[in-house]
Structure 1
C-alpha cells in the first residue's frame, strides 16, 4: 500500500473484493488489472491500490543453517519430502512390496504475506499427509468400496464456464465412468474422505470437491482435487488430493546415489534384448583420468535410456557439467539377449494431505448452532458424539441433602465404564446445561431427590433438550448404547 506500507496477498484481495474464487491461478498482470478494474482498496487504511505492482512471492521460509549466513536453508512447506527422501528405507520396511503407504502428522511452515482468519491462514500449521506408493501398471484401489458414495464435485469444466454449471452431486463410480475424475486412486480417497467428513459433522450443504484448473495444477500433479468448506461466505481448502505420479521419486533418484525404485519380480523369467555397454577402460582411463569411472556409468545410463545415441561414430555424455566425447567403438555398445527375473519400477504416489487446523475450524464452525429455549437464546456446538471433548456432564440438582455425594458416585461409575465425564455443581441447573451445550457435551445427567428415592436420574440430550428418566443401575449401559449410535428416543 503506498499510504500505510502494508503488504497484502493480491490474490486474496481479489477474492475478497470480487466473485472470483481462485485468483491464485491468475497471472500477476491479470490480478493487477482486476484490482484496478474493481477499485480494490487497502484493507488496513482504505487507500486505492490501482496501479500498484503485483509481484510473485516465495512462500518458503528461508533461514541460515549454523553460524553466519553461508549455508542457506528452508523450513519445510510440507511433510511429504521427508517421506520421499527416506523412501529406500521405507520400501525396505515394507519388504519392497507395492502398494504401501506412509502417513505422517507434523508441522509445516509458509511465509504468508498476510496471515489472517484464526486457523485458516497461518505461518506455522499442522498437517497430516499420506503418501501411498503404487505400481501404476498393476495396483488398483478397491473402488467397489466407494463407488456408490455420493460426492459434490466442482469440476474444472464447470469452473471454466462452459455451461456445465456449478457443483454437481454424483457418485464416485459415475464420476470415473464419465471422466470427471481421471485417477481411480484419487477417486478412492475422495470417497473415503467424504465418509470421514460426514462422521466429523461437516455440513454437506457447505462442502465440495473442487478440481484444480490447468493453470493452478501443481508441477508434480497429473490430477488434483481440493476438499473445500464454506466458512463465513468463503470457500476454504481443507484437504488436497493429488496424483503426484513418479515425479518426486524420479527427481530424488536422478540427483542422489540412492535407488528410488522397487524390484518387481516376474511370475516366470523372461528373455529380452537389452542395450548395454562394456567400456574399454584402457581407452577411458588414459583419456579421461579420474572421470573415467563416471563416464562409464553415464554411458551405461545412456544406453538404457536412449540406444539411438550410439548410432553415430561418437557418443557424448556429461559428468559434473563437463562434456566427454567417446568413440562408439570404445563404449562396447551392443544389444544382447538377457534373461530377466523382474524389473525395477518407480512407484507413483497418491497423496491426500489434510490441514488439521482448517479441518478443526470447519468442524467447529459447522457445528455452531443458535436457538431459543423458553424465551432465552442458546448457543451450542452440535458436535458428533465421538468428537465431543466430554460425553456426559453429571450434576446434582443442588449440593446438599446427599445429592452431591450421590452425583459424584455416579460420575465415578461412568468414568469406570470408559465414558468422558465432567462434574459440575456450580450455579443453577439451567446455567450448567448452557455451559455444557456451549462446549458440545451431548448428554447431561441430573441427580435429584427422586434419584435418592426411586434410583433414577434425568438424562438430557443436547440438541433437542429432550429428557428421559433412566434407572441408575442401567445408566452406564444406556449411555454406552447412545455413544454407539442408538437413538435417544429409541
Structure 2
C-alpha cells in the first residue's frame, strides 16, 4: 500500500511567503498572469544567495568557463537542435469547460488521489474496527458486571460507506505500476490510460484525446518580422554554438566545462503549483565536455562513497518505486550509472542540494526510461525532491552524447571538434570516398562544393552504404544541408579502402549536462525548511542554512534609547564590511516578537544590544533553530557570525566552546 504524502501545512507557508513578499503573482493588481511570478526583497535575496552558492560549488570549485548568451534564439538553431520538432508535451481539453491540462499530469493526479483515498479509507476502516472491538469489549464488561448478555454489535452506515471507497487489490497494484512508469507513456499510451481508467478533470468532466503542443514561445526579429526566432527554452544551445571559442580560450585542453545562468521560457500547458510550473524561470546549466573514449573523472575516487538514493529505470519498468541506497562508485561499477563523469556529477549535485538546505531523505535520483529519454540523451537521471505536491523534478543530469555539437557542425559546416596530438601515430584502414574532380564540378555545378562537403562529412557506415549502393545499382544518393538529394554514380566517385596514418586524433566531445531549475529547487527548499515552534503553532520558522538566508544577522536593540545608537551603527558597519546582510529591528514590539518576525524570514542569527552592551561592549548572539544564546565581546561575536555563515564552524561547536546565556527572552 502506498503511503499518503507526509502531512504539511502548505497554507501556513504560503501565507508567510505572500505576507513577507518572498514571491507574488506578476501584475497582480491587473489580475495576474498564470505562470509568471515576481520575487520580492527576501525572495530576490534568497535567489541571489542560491546563485552565489551554486557558482562557488560548481563554477569556482570545478574551474568552469561561465558564459552569458542571448535569450532570443534564431529558428535555425533550435530546428537543428531538435527543439522545433520534439520539444512537446501532450495536452487534453475538458470537453465541457474547455480547460487545458497536461495529459500525463492529469492521469498522475487522478490515480494518486484515488490511491490516497484508498489509504484513508483503509485507515478509517481499521480505526472503526478498533473502536468496534473496544465498544464490544466495554459492552461485554458492562454485561458481565450486570449479569446480562451483551447485545450484538451493529454495523454502522459510516463503516459501509468507508469500506465502499476501498480499491480492489488488483486495481491498486495497476495504479501503482502506472505511476511508476508514467513518464514512459506517449500520446497513444496516455489515451489508452484515460479510456481504461476513466480519467476526468477535477470537475468530473471527460477530456479529449491527447495532442502534441510545442512549448516554445515564438517571436520575430527586425521590423519586417521575416526573421523567425524563439525565446530560448534552455541555456545549453548558447554554450554549444560557442564551443570552438571556449576550447580555444581553454588552450585546447580537455576535458573542461562551460556554465550558464539565465532566464529560459516554456509555454506551459497548464501552469500551476506556484514556482513548480511556470512560463519564465531561471536555469543554471553546466555542459561538461569529455572524450567519448574516456569518460573517467579525476574527482571520481574522492566522491565514490557519496550515498545516493537511486530509482533505476529497471525498477520503474517492473512497476516499483522502491529506492536503492547506494554508494555512487558502486552504482557506476555495476553499470547502473553509465560512466564515471555522470556519476561524479550526480554526487556533486547531491552534495550541493544538501548544502542549500534540501532534506536528503526527501531527495532521490530517478533514471529516465527509454520512452521518456530526451532525443539527445544516452543516459539521464533527474534529481527529484519530495514536496506536498509529490516528487518534483528539479535537476536533470544527462549524458547528451555528441548530439548537439554534431548537429550544429553538420548544419553550419563548422568544425566543432577537438584535435589531440598523438604520442604515437595511429594507423588504421578506412573506407573513403574519392571524388573525380574533372567530372564532379560540371555534374553538380553550383552545388558541387556542398555535395563534396556532405560526402566528406559522412561516417564510415554511410560511406560503406554508398559503396554497396554503387555496386548493386550503379547509383547512390547523398543529401546536402539544405535537404536536397543528389545522385552519384561510379563516374563521379569511387569508394576505396585506404590506410590512414594519424598523427592527430580528431573527435567530437560527448557532453555531460547537469541542468538546474532554480525556482523548483527554491520552492521545494522552502517546504523542506519550514516548521512551526512546538510550543506555538502560529510561530512559523524557515530553517534556511546561513548561506541561503536573505538576512544573515538581525540587530535587536533592547529599546529605542539613544545610548544604543553608536554600537548599533558599529555592528552594522562591521557585518556589512564582511559582506553579511543585516537588518535592525528597533520597533516597540517585545524582543520575542521581533525574533519571531525574523524567524519567518529565515534569519539565522540575532545580535541583541542592551545596557550591559554599552558598559562592556558585549552583545548576545541568538541562533534561530535552537533559540540558544551566548554573550561575548563584539569582536568575538562578529567573527563567529562570519565563520558560521561561511561554514567554517557550526552552532553546536560554538555552544560547546562558549557558555550559554539564559537571561533574555528567546
* TM-score w.r.t. length of structure 2: 0.68
The separation in 1 between residues aligned to 2:503 and 2:578, in whole angstroms, is: 57
CA apart distance, 1:231: 1.3
The separation in 1 between residues aligned to 2:440 and 2:578, in whole angstroms, is: 77
Q: Does 2:334 correspond to 1:171? A: no
Note closer, same or farther for the CA distance 1:2–1:463 as it changes in structure 2 (3 Å cut).
same
Query: What do residues 317-350 of structure 1 show as CA deviations (whole Å, max 9, x unaligned)?
Result: 435424233325x536544444321121011111
Matches within 5 A, 1:430-469: 430-469=592-631
Q: Which runs of 5+ in 1 are unaligned?
A: none
Which residue pairs with 1:31 in the alignment?
190
Q: Does 2:636 correspond to 1:477? A: no
The separation in 2 between residues aligned to 1:18 and 1:35, in whole angstroms, is: 11
Q: Does 2:293 correspond to 1:137? A: yes
The separation in 1 between residues aligned to 2:181 and 2:500, in whole angstroms, is: 53
Which residue pairs with 2:109 in the alignment?
16
The separation in 2 between residues aligned to 1:481 and 1:299, in whole angstroms, is: 62
> Aligned match of 1:5 in 98, 109, 113?
98
As a proportion of its length, which structure holds more helix?
Answer: 2
Note closer, same or farther for the CA distance 1:7–1:272 as it changes in structure 2 (3 Å cut).
closer
SS in 1 for 2:264: strand
Which residue pairs with 2:543 in the alignment?
382
SS in 1 for 2:555: strand
Q: Does 2:566 correspond to 1:402? A: no
CA apart distance, 1:73: 3.0
> Aligned match of 1:246 in 378, 402, 416?
402
Query: What do residues 349-403 of structure 1 show as CA deviations (whole Å, max 9, x unaligned)?
Result: 1100001111111222211111144x57411111111111222111110111613
CA apart distance, 1:203: 0.6
CA apart distance, 1:476: 1.7
Kindly indicate whether the alpha-carbon contact (under 8 Å) linking 2:287 and 2:514 is maintained by their aligned counterparts in 1. yes
Which residue pairs with 2:18 in the alignment?
none
* Number of equivalenced pairs: 484
> Aligned match of 1:147 in 304, 309, 314?
304
> Aligned match of 2:417 in 254, 258, 261?
261
Kindly indicate whether the alpha-carbon contact (under 8 Å) linking 1:303 and 1:309 is maintained by their aligned counterparts in 2. no
Note closer, same or farther for the CA distance 1:4–1:134 as it changes in structure 2 (3 Å cut).
same
CA apart distance, 1:116: 0.9
Moved more, 474-483 or 115-124: 474-483
Matches within 5 A, 1:83-482: 83-142=239-298, 143-161=300-318, 166-276=322-432, 278-301=434-457, 305-307=462-464, 309-310=466-467, 312=470, 314-318=474-478, 320=480, 321-328=484-491, 331=493, 334-373=496-535, 377-400=538-561, 402-427=563-588, 428-482=590-644
Matches within 5 A, 1:63-102: 63-67=219-223, 70-102=226-258
CA apart distance, 1:92: 2.1
The separation in 1 between residues aligned to 2:312 and 2:625, in whole angstroms, is: 36
Moved more, 478-487 or 307-316: 307-316
Note closer, same or farther for the CA distance 1:482–1:62 as it changes in structure 2 (3 Å cut).
closer
Kindly indicate whether the alpha-carbon contact (under 8 Å) linking 2:617 and 2:633 is maintained by their aligned counterparts in 1. yes
Kindly indicate whether the alpha-carbon contact (under 8 Å) linking 1:275 and 1:303 is maintained by their aligned counterparts in 2. no
Query: What do residues 179-203 of structure 1 show as CA deviations (whole Å, max 9, x unaligned)?
Result: 2212222111001111111111101
Query: What do residues 35-72 of structure 1 show as CA deviations (whole Å, max 9, x unaligned)?
Result: 355544434xx14225x322122112233444566554
Note closer, same or farther for the CA distance 1:460–1:315 as it changes in structure 2 (3 Å cut).
same
Which residue pairs with 2:654 in the alignment?
488
Higher relative contact order (CA 8 A, sep 6+): 2
Moved more, 383-392 or 445-454: 445-454
Kindly indicate whether the alpha-carbon contact (under 8 Å) linking 2:296 and 2:339 is maintained by their aligned counterparts in 1. no
The separation in 2 between residues aligned to 1:451 and 1:138, in whole angstroms, is: 62
Query: What do residues 437-477 of structure 1 show as CA deviations (whole Å, max 9, x unaligned)?
Result: 11111111111122233432222110011122222342222
Kindly indicate whether the alpha-carbon contact (under 8 Å) linking 1:295 and 1:324 is maintained by their aligned counterparts in 2. no
SS in 2 for 1:119: helix
CA apart distance, 1:404: 3.8
